[in-house]
Chain A
């Protein structure tokens, strides 16, 4: 079993739709969770960071962590064509950047 799994997509949605992106993981020690967005021909950029379980909201983006199910989600409300990108989840058990484990990414296309 891979340590972090993510549906690779591609996922295509119409503009204005609510998007749900998900990752599952196997290591119950993970407690730092991140979502990165990567546009074509660019490096990843951090979108959301959460610690332990719960929800975090930032504008149109909501990150949700369910540690009991080993499942994290990123919701995008009122999706825009500019949200078209690959979304990577990443997680870590401790406070050290070198121990991040990344998912393979989900490619999202928001169609106008």
Chain B
């Protein structure tokens, strides 16, 4: 596999469920990102990890919990979500985390919360 992969591609969950999204990058990058993409709204940066350390948390609700066990893997643990959390969740990676880095995006996980 090459690039950035995400699993699952689609997820439907109830508000009381607990699930996890997985992202894996095969590019040797040091920074990884979680974004939320809702219809007709800008991409919202949720979390940034650089060298496995969390750098940024843009006031995301605690029902979203990231985990970065190593520089190739990133998880987003979900619990007690709300219907308004339904969106496309995108993972990205970049070589160093700088603005001149190209961010490479995965295909996303389409999440529906019932």
**Interface segment, one of A61-69, A77-85, A92-100:** A92-100
Q: What bracket does the count of chain B residues touching chain A fall in? A: 20 to 34
Considering the complex, which residues of chain B in the window 80-100 have a beta carbon less than 8 Å from any beta carbon of chain A? Answer: 90-92, 94, 97-100
Smallest CB-CB separation from B56: which chain A residue?
Answer: A98
Residue of B nearest to A92 (CB): B99
Instruction: Confirm or deny: A11 has a beta carbon within 8 angstroms of a beta carbon on chain B.
Output: no
| A59 at the binding interface (Cβ < 8 Å) | no
Residue of A nearest to B101 (CB): A97
Q: Are A97 and B48 in contact (CB under 8 A)?
A: yes
* Option from B33, B45, B91, B100 in Cβ contact (under 8 Å) with A32: B100
* Interface check A102, CB cutoff 8 A: yes
CA distance A27 to B100 in the complex (A): 19
Q: A-B contact count, CB below 8 Å?
A: 66
Residue from B41, B43, B91, B99 within 8 A of A96 (CB atoms): B99
Q: Which residues of B contact A45 (CB under 8 A)?
A: 104-105
B11 interface contact, C-beta 8 A: no
- Chain B residue numbers with a CB within 8 Å of A49 are 100, 102
Give Cα A92 to B99, complex, Å: 7
Q: Could you list 19 examples of A-B contacts with CB < 8 Å? A: A41-B108, A43-B107, A43-B108, A44-B43, A45-B105, A46-B103, A46-B104, A51-B100, A88-B43, A90-B43, A94-B99, A95-B98, A95-B100, A97-B31, A98-B45, A98-B55, A98-B56, A100-B45, A105-B40
Counting chain A residues whose Cβ lies within 8 A of the other chain, the interface size class is 20 to 34
Knowing A43-B106, A45-B105, A101-B42 are in contact, say whether A32-B99 is a contact too (CB < 8 A). yes
Counting CB contacts under 8 A, is B4 at the interface? yes
Q: B33, B90, B105: which has the most chain A beta carbons within 10 Å?
A: B105
Contact (Cβ within 8 A) B92 A43: yes
Shortest C-beta distance, B27 to chain A (Å), equals 13
Q: Contact check: which of B42, B91, B97 meets A97 at CB < 8 Å?
A: B97
B51 to chain A, nearest CB (A): 13
